[in-house]
């Protein structure tokens, strides 16, 4: 695809080149974030649609430019003619002495058949047509806008793939916590049932344990569903299914660098492709006003034509030929007010696009500021959630010890179990919120590209999260969720 007519900021050009020159990747069985991202760049339907739309806009520029180039047309026809002529006239016949003068009818009938040939060759060249020239300019601005929109589509795909990838890992860690919680509370229920049978505790404690177990089972089922849904989202984005993906290891949890929030806002104003696309829209509308105003100007074009005619009528020999060379001009004097109305229409459209640009600019600034704040809070939240695991684990051990000596009841133990596994799940949520929000901040600032994905990919480990197709076994829930080929976590 030719991109010789980019009129865009230099930082976006490598980004678009990465989209348009992405290599074909074969379906993977085990993959990391970079591999899956490249698969998405190749196979994503929305991105391929945006690429095709860019090519269409580029072709529209060539269509408009054709109006300024020479136009050559040839026409001709061959005709078979059949003519029949029947005419009569009345005239006085001289007196011959035979009788009085009388009128006699004189009749005539002619029939003719012949063939004719005519050829016309005409060439024109625009000398001055401001409307067409401005239309070419507008087409160039539309290409500029489409470059930004294509870059925005790619960046959106990158964040969508990263979010789907980490949603799978998030759901897997939450599922592991819920499975461990169900097993722990299940053991607690068994222990309570045994103690009730020997008369050590009341039935109410057994029922409390059973209620907690049922809730933990419901939480585990919901976590399985979330994992399956997350994986289906990734498959929809890439068009491929992966048997294993790499998990997230230790990672640096720090404030965005640079730590100045205004830096990220400034980058967003200068580089966010949605903002730049709206700004290009202003230029498109401004040229639209110039096109409407150009409707009042004269047009000039040079022309040359040659005509040749011949036929095979009897008694007619030779052929007719003529040629012309000249310049034609056209000046619109009155168009019923349509030109003035077109100018007003274009002016209002320009005003509308200016407001749309301002709205997009304000929205982007607000989103960048919010994401920066969220990432900053995520840094503290990850640390707090990690410490909460240590605290709740200590509280659980103390509560279990108190239960064994009779100072705490089973409800206290169940609550401590719930708090501990909730802390584990919340820690996983906090870690992945940090990663996704950090990438979203880069996206809104116009800085999300494949190298940024590679930087995050370095945080992944060789340990893999596996998915296998359900075997339609004994779990009725998995059978209900079998809507094609839903994955289940490998055990």
pLDDT at 280: 96
CA distance linking residue 18 with residue 450, whole number of Å: 8
Q: What is the mean pLDDT of the chain?
A: 84
* Cα–Cα distances in angstroms (integers) from residue 437 to residues 171, 235, 428, in the given order: 17, 22, 14
Higher-pLDDT residue of 462 and 44 is 44
Identify whether the C-beta of residue 115 lies closer than 8 Å to the C-beta of residue 312: yes
Q: What is the pLDDT of residue 476?
A: 41
pLDDT for 243 equals 78
Q: Is the dihedral of CA 164, 170, 173, 174 positive or negative?
A: negative
**Cis ω for the linkage preceding 258 (within 30 of 0):** yes
Confidence class for position 332, pLDDT limits 50, 70, 90? very high
**Residue where the block lists tokens 């047309």:** 73
pLDDT value of residue 15: 43
pLDDT at 14: 41
* Bridge partners, 110 (sequence order): 85
Summarize pLDDT for 56-71 with one digit per residue, the tens.
999 999 999 999 999 9
Q: List the one residue out of 178, 188, 175 whose CA is nearest residue 413.
A: 188
DSSP 458: T
33, 452 Cβ separation under 8 angstroms: no
More confident residue, 18 or 258: 258
Q: Which residue has the tokens 């011949």?
A: 310
* pLDDT of 209 over the 90 cut: no
Inter-residue contact 236 to 459 (CB < 8 Å) = no
Maximum pairwise Cα distance, the chain: 165
Looking at 124-128, 141-145, 466-470, which range is the least confident one? 466-470
* 421 burial level (CB within 10 Å; 0-12, 13-18, 19+): buried
Q: Ramachandran region of residue 248, left (φ > 0), alpha (ψ -120 to 50) or beta?
A: beta
Protein fold of 33-69+130-298+336-470: Outer membrane efflux proteins (OEP) (1.20.1600)
Q: Where are the beta strands (DSSP E) in 151-255?
A: 244-248
The yes-or-no verdict on residue 106 having pLDDT over 90 is: no
Query: Percent of the chain scored above 90 by pLDDT?
Result: 57
443 vs 464: CA distance, rounded Å: 27
Collect all residues with Cβ–Cβ distance below 8 Å to 281 and sequence separation of at least 6: 145, 353, 356, 357
* Weakest-pLDDT range from 242-246, 316-320, 369-373, 482-486: 482-486
What value does the CA radius of gyration of the chain take, rounded to a whole number of Å?
41
Whole-angstrom Cα distance, residue 447 to residue 455? Answer: 13
Q: Is the pLDDT of residue 327 over 50?
A: yes
Q: Is residue 459 over pLDDT 50?
A: yes
Distance CA 300, CA 331 (A): 9
Least confident range of 25-34, 265-274, 401-410: 25-34
Cβ proximity of 488 and 467 under 8 Å: yes
Phi-psi region at 242: left, alpha or beta (left = phi > 0; alpha = psi -120 to 50): beta
Determine the average pLDDT of the residues in 74-93: 77
Per-residue three-class SS string for 81-145: EEEEEEEEEEEECCCCCCCCCCEEEEEEEEEEEEEEEEEEEEEEEEEECHHHHHHHHHHHHHHHH
| pLDDT one-digit tens code per residue, 172-204 | 989 888 888 888 888 888 888 887 888 777 788
Q: Quote the CA–CA distance of 383 and 233 in Å, as a whole number.
A: 30
Predicted confidence band of residue 88 (pLDDT cuts 50, 70, 90): low
Contact 460, 32 (CB under 8 A): yes
Residue 246 near residue 460, CB atoms below 8 Å: yes
pLDDT at 225 over 90: no
Flag whether pLDDT at 5 surpasses 70.
no
Q: What is the DSSP letter of 199?
A: T
Phi, psi dihedrals of residue 387, rounded to the nearest 5°: -70, -30
Q: What angle do CA 51, 47, 19 make, to 5 degrees?
A: 70
pLDDT at 48: 92
Residue 473 scores a pLDDT above 80:
no
From CA 352, how far away is CA 281, in angstroms rounded?
10
CA angle 123, 129, 132 (to 5 degrees): 95
State whether the Cα torsion 16-21-26-32 is positive or negative: negative
> 92 pLDDT band (50/70/90 cuts)?
low
pLDDT at 479 over 50: no
User: Which is more confidently placed, 16 or 356?
Assistant: 356
Between 107 and 232, residue with greater pLDDT? 232
What pLDDT does residue 87 have? 65
**Locus of tokens 């000596």:** 405
- Choice among 66-75, 306-315, 365-374, 384-393 with the minimum mean pLDDT: 306-315
Q: Is 70 exceeded by the pLDDT of residue 104?
A: no
Beta bridge partners of 104: 91
Q: Which two tokens stand for residue 486?
A: 């839903």
Give the span between the Cα atoms of 350 and 344, in whole angstroms: 10
Structure tokens at 98: 């035979």
């Amino acid at each position: 695809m030719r991109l010789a007519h980019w009129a865009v900021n230099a930082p976006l050009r490598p980004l678009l080149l990465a989209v348009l020159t992405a290599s074909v990747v074969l379906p993977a069985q085990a993959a990391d974030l970079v591999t899956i991202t490249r698969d998405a760049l190749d196979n994503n339907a929305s991105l391929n649609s945006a690429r095709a739309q860019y090519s269409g806009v580029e072709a529209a520029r060539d269509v408009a430019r054709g109006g300024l180039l020479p136009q050559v047309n040839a026409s001709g026809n061959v005709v078979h003619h059949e003519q029949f002529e029947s005419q009569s006239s009345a005239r006085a016949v001289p007196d011959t002495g035979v009788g009085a003068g009388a009128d006699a009818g004189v009749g005539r009938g002619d029939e003719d058949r012949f063939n004719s040939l005519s050829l016309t060759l005409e060439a024109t060249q625009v000398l001055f047509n401001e409307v067409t020239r401005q239309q070419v300019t507008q087409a160039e601005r539309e290409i500029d806008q489409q470059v930004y929109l294509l870059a925005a589509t790619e960046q959106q795909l990158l964040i969508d793939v990263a979010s789907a990838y980490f949603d799978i890992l998030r759901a897997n860690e939450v599922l592991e916590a819920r499975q461990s919680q169900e097993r722990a509370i299940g053991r607690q229920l068994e222990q309570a049932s045994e103690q009730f049978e020997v008369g050590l505790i009341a039935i109410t404690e057994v029922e409390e344990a059973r209620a907690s177990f049922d809730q933990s089972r419901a939480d585990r089922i919901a976590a399985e569903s979330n994992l399956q849904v997350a994986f289906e989202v990734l498959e929809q984005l890439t068009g491929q299914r992966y048997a294993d993906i790499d998990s997230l290891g230790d990672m640096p949890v720090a404030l965005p660098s640079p730590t100045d929030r205004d830096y990220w806002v400034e980058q967003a104003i200068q580089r966010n492709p949605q903002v730049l696309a709206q700004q290009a829209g202003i230029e498109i509308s401004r040229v639209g006003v110039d096109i409407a105003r150009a409707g009042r100007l004269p047009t000039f074009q040079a022309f040359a034509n040659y005509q040749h005619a011949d036929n095979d009528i009897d008694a007619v020999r030779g052929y007719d030929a003529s040629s012309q060379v000249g310049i034609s001009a056209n000046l619109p004097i009155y168009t019923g007010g349509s030109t003035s109305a077109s100018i007003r229409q274009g002016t209002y459209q320009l005003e509308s696009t200016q407001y749309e640009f301002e709205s997009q600019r304000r929205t982007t600034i607000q989103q960048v500021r919010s994401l920066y704040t969220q990432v900053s809070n995520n840094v503290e939240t990850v640390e707090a959630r990690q410490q909460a695991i240590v605290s709740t684990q200590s509280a659980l051990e103390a509560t279990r010890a108190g239960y064994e000596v009779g100072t705490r009841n089973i409800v206290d133990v169940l609550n401590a179990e719930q708090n501990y596994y909730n802390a584990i799940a919340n820690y996983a949520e906090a870690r992945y919120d940090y990663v996704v929000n950090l990438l979203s901040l880069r996206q809104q600032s116009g800085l999300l590209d494949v190298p940024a994905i590679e930087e995050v990919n370095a945080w992944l480990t060789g340990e893999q999260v596996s998915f296998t197709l359900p075997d339609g076994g004994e779990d009725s829930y998995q059978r209900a969720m079998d809507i094609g080929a839903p994955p289940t976590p490998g055990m």
